[in-house]
Amino acid sequence: MNGTRRVEPWVKRLWLSTWPLWALLAFASLAAVRLLPKGDAAASLAAAILLIVPGSLTLGAVFNPRRRPRGLVFVCYAALLSAVLSAFSSLVLYACGVLITAESTYWCLLALLTVLVITAEARLLLARPTKGRRAAHKLEALNSYHSDAGTDDETSAASRNSGYYSIVAAVAGVSLLAGGLYAYDRLPHPAPTGYTWMAWTGPAAQGDIAIGSSGTELSFQIVHHQSDNTTFKLSAWWLGTPSRSLAKSVTLSVGTNQTYQGTLFVPQLPNGCTYRIVVSLTAARQIDPLTKKRQVWSINADVHDLAKSSRTCR
Amino acid sequence: MTATPYQRQLDSISDREPSVSYSRVTHRSRDAHHSRPAPNMSVYLLAAAFVACELAGVAAMIRAYQIAQTTVSSTSEFAWFWIGMLLVELPLAGLIGRRATSRNIRIALITFYGFVSYLPKLLRNPASPIYHDEYAHWLATDEILTTGKLFQPNTIIPIISRYPGLHAATAALVHATGLTIWSAATLLLILFHVTLVLGIAALAQALGFDNRTASLIAILYALNSSFLYFDTQYAYESMAITLLVWTLVAYIRAIRSQPGEGQVAWSVLTVVLSAAAVITHHLSTITLVLIMALVALAMSLPWLARGEGWGRAAGLAWGLTLSTALVAGAWFHFVAPTTLSYLSPYLGEGLSELMQAAEGSGGARQLFGASLSPWWEQKAAYAVTVFALFLAVAGLLVIRAWIRDGRLPQGCRRALLSAFAVLGLLYFPSTVFILSPAGAEGARRSWAFTWIGLSMLVGPAAVWLLDWTRRSMYRWRRVSFRSGLVIALAVALVGGTAAGLNASYRFPGSFLYGSDTRSITPELLAASEWFSARFGTNNNIVTDRYTGLIFGSFGLQNIASPSAGFPVYNMYLAKPGAPIEPAFLFYDLSSSHYTYLIVDARMAYDTPELGVYFTPNDPTSVQPRGTKSPFYGRLNKFNTVQWAVKVFQSDNYSIYRFIQLTMPISYQQQPPTSRGKPGKVLQGKLTVTP
> For every one of its 314 residues, what pLDDT tens digit does chain A have, with 9 covering 90 and above?
444 455 577 788 888 888 999 999 999 999 998 888 888 889 999 999 999 999 999 999 999 888 889 889 999 999 999 999 999 999 999 999 999 999 999 999 999 999 999 999 998 888 765 544 444 344 333 333 333 333 344 445 555 666 788 899 999 999 999 999 999 999 988 888 899 999 999 777 777 888 888 888 899 999 999 888 888 999 999 888 888 888 888 998 888 888 999 999 988 888 888 889 999 999 888 788 888 888 899 999 988 887 777 666 76
Q: Residue B217 to residues B112, B419, B488, B582: CA-CA distances in angstroms? A: 15, 16, 15, 56
**Closest Cβ opposite residue A197 in set B150, B177, B527:** B527
Nearest to B365 by CA among B433, B435, B432: B435
Specify the amino acid at residue B288: L
**Closest Cβ opposite residue B22 in set A148, A193, A249:** A148
pLDDT tens across B529-586, in order?
999 999 999 999 999 999 999 999 999 999 999 998 999 999 999 998 888 888 888 8
Residues 147-186 of A with CB under 8 A from B: 147-150, 153-155, 157-158, 161-162, 165-166, 168-170, 172-174, 176-177, 179-181, 183-185
pLDDT tens across B622-650, in order?
898 888 999 999 999 999 888 889 999 99
**Closest Cβ opposite residue B175 in set A102, A236, A247:** A102
Angle at B356 between CA B350 and CA B362, to 5 degrees: 100
Q: Tell me the average pLDDT across B334-347.
A: 85
Which of B162, B685, B689 is the mutation pick for testing A, counting most A CBs within 10 A?
Answer: B685
- Which residues contact residue B404 at a Cβ distance below 8 angstroms, ignoring those fewer than 6 apart? none
Residues 466-505 of B with CB under 8 A from A: none
* CA–CA gap between residue A238 and residue B435 (Å, rounded): 55
The predicted pLDDT at position B360 comes to 67
The predicted pLDDT at position A305 comes to 82
CA distance A288 to chain B (A): 8
Cβ separation of B273 and A81 shorter than 8 Å? yes
Has residue B678 got a pLDDT over 70? no
> Residue B516: how many CA atoms within 13 Å on its side-chain side?
23
- CATH hierarchy code of domain A195-312: 2.60.40.10
Where are the alpha helices (H) located in A29-69, listed in sequence order? Answer: 30-35, 40-62
The model's confidence at residue B181, banded by pLDDT at 50, 70 and 90, is very high
Cβ of residue A187 closer than 8 Å to a chain B Cβ: yes
The residue count of chain A comes to 314
Any idea where the domains of chain A sit in the sequence? 2-186, 195-312
Cβ-based contacts of A271 with chain B (< 8 Å): 672
- Which residues contact residue B431 at a Cβ distance below 8 angstroms, ignoring those fewer than 6 apart? B385, B443
- Which residues contact residue B411 at a Cβ distance below 8 angstroms, ignoring those fewer than 6 apart? B305, B306, B307, B308, B310
Q: Which residue ranges form the domains of chain B, and what is each CATH number?
A: 3-336+367-506 (no CATH), 522-658 (3.40.50)
Q: Tell me the average pLDDT across B580-609.
A: 91
The predicted pLDDT at position B10 comes to 36
CA distance A23 to chain B (A): 16
**Closest Cβ opposite residue A275 in set B173, B239, B672:** B672
Cβ separation of B165 and A50 shorter than 8 Å? no
* CA–CA gap between residue B553 and residue A236 (Å, rounded): 35
Q: A286-295, B482-491, B583-592, B666-675: lowest mean pLDDT where?
A: B666-675
Q: What is the ipTM of this complex?
A: 0.88
CA distance B243 to chain A (A): 7
Residues 240-259 of A with CB under 8 A from B: 240-241, 243-250, 252, 254, 258-259
Cβ of residue A80 closer than 8 Å to a chain B Cβ: yes
Cβ of residue B602 closer than 8 Å to a chain A Cβ: yes
CA distance A209 to chain B (A): 11
Query: Between A and B, how many residue pairs show a Cβ–Cβ distance under 8 A?
Result: 401
**Closest Cβ opposite residue B684 in set A81, A174, A266:** A266
State the pTM of this model: 0.89
DSSP B616-648: TT--GGGS-BTTB-TTTTTSGGGGT-TTEEEEE
The predicted pLDDT at position B2 comes to 37
pLDDT tens across B14-64, in order?
333 333 333 333 344 444 444 455 667 788 888 899 999 999 999 999 999
**Closest Cβ opposite residue B7 in set A86, A90, A148:** A148
Cβ of residue B77 closer than 8 Å to a chain A Cβ: no
Specify the amino acid at residue B395: G
Query: Which SS3 state, helix, strand or coil, does residue A266 take?
Result: strand
- The helix (run of H) or strand (run of E) holding residue B2 is none
